[in-house]
Chain A
Amino acid sequence: MTTYRDLVEGCEVVVCCGTGGVGKTTTAAATAMAAAAMGRRAAVVTIDPAKRLADALGISELGNDPTVIDGPWSGTLAALMLDTKATFDDVVRHHATSDEQAETILANRFYKNISTSLSGTQDYMAVEKLAELHSSGDWDLVVVDTPPTRDALAFLEAPKLLTRLLDNTIYKILISPSQGVLRAVNRAAGSVVRQLSRVVGAEVVDDAIEFFQSFQGMEEGFRERADATLTLLGADATAFVLVASPRADTIVEAKYFLDRLGKADLDAAAVIVNRVLPALSVDLSRAQQMAGSHPGGGTQALADHAAAAVGDDDRIADLLSSAPEATVVRVPLLPSDVHDIDTLHHIATLLTD
């Protein structure tokens, strides 16, 4: 059976996924730190980290390149906070056939919507950043935190985001205004465009048409990149790590996640269950009995603890039945929030020992 240590030692890419509020960013950072402790060159891409964690990692200033963090590890640890817009701009510049083409696209309002507020863009750029760092050859391991989405596939479909828009038939009609065979189609399209203008306003439609027209010549590059990225996500050296907590609602979400991952023929290589209450030797009824016969703060705390933990083991077992091959690590509920290098180091140790 592989351990999480093996995974941290052997993988080139780790994708931490799961719902919000379960310690995903912390797990991602601790995983990279554990790799650095093994002498590897590890970079972690965080998405919207809590401010104090970002401060601790030295990445509070928005920078879109990894910042090296000094610490007691033999390898290299670096972190960055994903800047979605800046990453997207870089991608456009990279694929553009001329500076002029890049600038036209960057100034377009439809593009600005795509690169800032479209749902899925953050996932898309996280994958782009991951692929960029992986292919740079500077890192042995790239760990990426994912945006809080319900659907694992949102992340996997992210690289196809733009190509899917480009495959749209309406788009094809929009960019080929007057070619013979399409003239009839275009009359129909024209009526759609007119109606659409009445709904969303003419300038919105104009912006979209301008965007698609100025995009010509770049599709192929984007398509190839999307394919390459999907191959990387499916590679043997890539591990999906599902982060969860024993709470009933998060277990439901985590199972849904595994199910969706399975639909894409992917497995979670590891399941990290955070915030697990420490195990007791007594059960709930004995704890309540003790609280009754020996009233006091200590026995009351024990009874509450036992009551809160009821079902944790069953729920975790239920989750794991959906991922029988996965390596499992339980991380206990900690007495404080994680916002310094020492606590992060403690978690890195818990994950890999």
Chain B
Amino acid sequence: MNPGQFFASSRVLIVAGKGGVGKTTASATLALAAARTGLSVLLVEVAGRSATAPMFGADAPGYEESVVYDEADHGSVRCRSITPDDALVEWLTNHGFSRIAKRMARSGLLEIVATATPGIKDLLVLGRIKALESEGVADLIIVDAPAAGHAIQFLQAPVGVRDTARTGVLNRQALEVLEMLDDPTRCRAMLVSIPEETPINELIETAFAVEDEVGLALGPVVINGILPRIEGLDAVEAPPDLTADEAADVQLAAALRRDRQSLQAEQLDRLETQLPLAQIRLPQLFTTEIGLPELIELADAAITSIESLDWS
């Protein structure tokens, strides 16, 4: 599939996955890949502190936007973060509740409201994203969803709020967000995982739950940290001019790599059989920190992977 067409197919991509699977790296990678097809991209983080801006070699953004990537011949990436508390106060203020907004923040009423309507904070973040989408602030909005617990919690929030707050302005907000989630030309989710047993199990469960319970369309899944396959790991003979320690190192590394590769192949096969979704595969980089050069390498891999997708 043509990568430009791929990234233009929805205006919002929600990148979700459990903690520890490289969801934030995947979000930054997709944002850069989309920008390299010429789009202007807004990368939204929901956590308090930005983890993506440093990957672009930029300072962390606050509630205001900042440009982290802008190359001639390419599009651009802007970053911003949206925190639930800010979103709530902003939302109440915009809906004529500025007095109650202040009072809620002061009196602890907020806690009772949040308890009474679970998911309200996630809903308001999604509501803010929906507003950005309607304003057309970018060709593509990529959301790095919160990592806490299961990916599905964030995505289920609007359904939960709609069912809890059955009247009132909040209910209307939930319905508006659901309208966006139900329309694949406006919004899709991309789930992230790594090729290990437990994360793959969770990916499969989440994927089915998202489509069944949220009605949100899924894009291809992103599999992070794929070990490039090395051949010739069976019956490795260490070269003769190495010391005994060096030869032992070669054997150790070869045996470990062989085991990890076969475990990975097993999990990827299983994923293909059990989940009928296309996969974007990102290689494991043998570096410790991700900066712009590494991000470009990953974005190129994503683009190559998308080009070979048979997806529509």
- Indicate which residue in B95, B112, B196, B251 contacts A298 across the interface (CB closer than 8 Å): B251
Q: B263 and A336: CB pair below 8 A?
A: yes
Does A51 lie at the interface of the complex (its beta carbon under 8 Å from any beta carbon of B)?
A: yes
Q: Are A113 and B238 CB-contacts (below 8 A) given A200-B170, A248-B288?
A: no
- The 0/1 profile, CB within 8 Å of A marked 1, for residues 225-268 of chain B is 00100111100111100100110111111111111100100000
Q: A300 and B289: CB pair below 8 A?
A: no
B309 to A: closest C-beta gap in Å = 27
Give the interface size class of chain B.
Answer: 35 or more
Query: Which of A113, A147, A171, A208 counts the most chain B CB atoms within 10 A?
Result: A113
Q: A117 and B249: CB pair below 8 A?
A: no
- Taking A302-B254, A304-B230, A336-B263 as known contacts, 11 extra A-B pairs with beta carbons closer than 8 A to each other, sorted by chain A number, are A21-B20, A51-B201, A164-B111, A165-B115, A199-B92, A202-B168, A207-B116, A296-B236, A298-B251, A310-B287, A335-B263
Residues of A within 8 A of B227 (CB): 304
Q: A170 and B286: CB pair below 8 A?
A: no
Q: Which of A183-203 contact B (CB under 8 A)?
A: 192, 195-203
Residues of B within 8 A of A196 (CB): 100, 109, 113
**Smallest CB gap from B121: residue in A:** A119
Q: B18 and A20: CB pair below 8 A?
A: yes
Q: Are A308 and B100 CB-contacts (below 8 A) given A301-B256, A302-B249?
A: no
Q: How far is A34 from B29 in the complex, measured between Cα atoms in Å?
A: 42
A-B pairs with beta carbons under 8 Å apart, 26 shown: A50-B201, A148-B19, A148-B147, A164-B111, A168-B107, A168-B109, A169-B107, A170-B109, A195-B97, A195-B100, A197-B168, A198-B168, A203-B167, A205-B116, A207-B116, A208-B112, A248-B288, A250-B20, A296-B236, A298-B233, A298-B238, A301-B250, A304-B253, A307-B287, A310-B288, A336-B263
Q: How far is A19 from B108 in the complex, measured between Cα atoms in Å?
A: 28
Q: A113 and B117: CB pair below 8 A?
A: yes
Q: How far is A347 from B289 in the complex, measured between Cα atoms in Å?
A: 29
- The 0/1 profile, CB within 8 Å of B marked 1, for residues 278-304 of chain A is 101110001100100110111111101
Question: Can you list the 9 inter-chain pairs with the closest CB atoms, starting with the nearest?
Answer: A21-B20, A297-B232, A20-B19, A335-B259, A298-B236, A307-B286, A117-B118, A201-B168, A301-B257
Q: How far is A189 from B2 in the complex, measured between Cα atoms in Å?
A: 59
Q: How far is A116 from B149 in the complex, measured between Cα atoms in Å?
A: 13
- The 0/1 profile, CB within 8 Å of B marked 1, for residues 104-126 of chain A is 00000110011011110000000
Q: Are A298 and B288 CB-contacts (below 8 A) given A113-B117, A113-B118, A281-B246?
A: no
Number of interface residues of A (CB under 8 A): 72
Residues of A within 8 A of B117 (CB): 113, 200, 204
Does B160 lie at the interface of the complex (its beta carbon under 8 Å from any beta carbon of A)?
A: yes
A309 to B: closest C-beta gap in Å = 9
Residues of A within 8 A of B196 (CB): 337
Q: How far is A192 from B160 in the complex, measured between Cα atoms in Å?
A: 24
Does A339 lie at the interface of the complex (its beta carbon under 8 Å from any beta carbon of B)?
A: yes
Residues of B within 8 A of A197 (CB): 168
**Smallest CB gap from B20: residue in A:** A21
Q: B231 and A297: CB pair below 8 A?
A: yes
Q: A204 and B103: CB pair below 8 A?
A: no
Q: How far is A52 from B200 in the complex, measured between Cα atoms in Å?
A: 13
Q: B148 and A150: CB pair below 8 A?
A: yes
- Indicate which residue in A50, A305, A336 contacts B259 across the interface (CB closer than 8 Å): A336
Q: A298 and B119: CB pair below 8 A?
A: no
> Which residues from chain A sit less than 8 Å from chain B, CB to CB?
19-22, 50-52, 109-110, 113-114, 116-119, 147-150, 164-165, 168-171, 192, 195-205, 207-208, 248-250, 277-278, 280-282, 286-287, 290, 293-294, 296-302, 304-308, 310-311, 315, 333, 335-337, 339
**Smallest CB gap from B196: residue in A:** A337
Does B166 lie at the interface of the complex (its beta carbon under 8 Å from any beta carbon of A)?
A: yes
Does B169 lie at the interface of the complex (its beta carbon under 8 Å from any beta carbon of A)?
A: yes
Q: B170 and A337: CB pair below 8 A?
A: no
- Indicate which residue in A21, A315, A336 contacts B18 across the interface (CB closer than 8 Å): A21
Q: How far is A50 from B200 in the complex, measured between Cα atoms in Å?
A: 11
Does B198 lie at the interface of the complex (its beta carbon under 8 Å from any beta carbon of A)?
A: yes
Residues of A within 8 A of B232 (CB): 296-298
Residues of B within 8 A of A117 (CB): 118-119, 160
Residues of A within 8 A of B246 (CB): 281-282, 286, 290
Q: B115 and A114: CB pair below 8 A?
A: yes
Q: Which of B135-181 contact A (CB under 8 A)?
A: 147-149, 160, 164-171
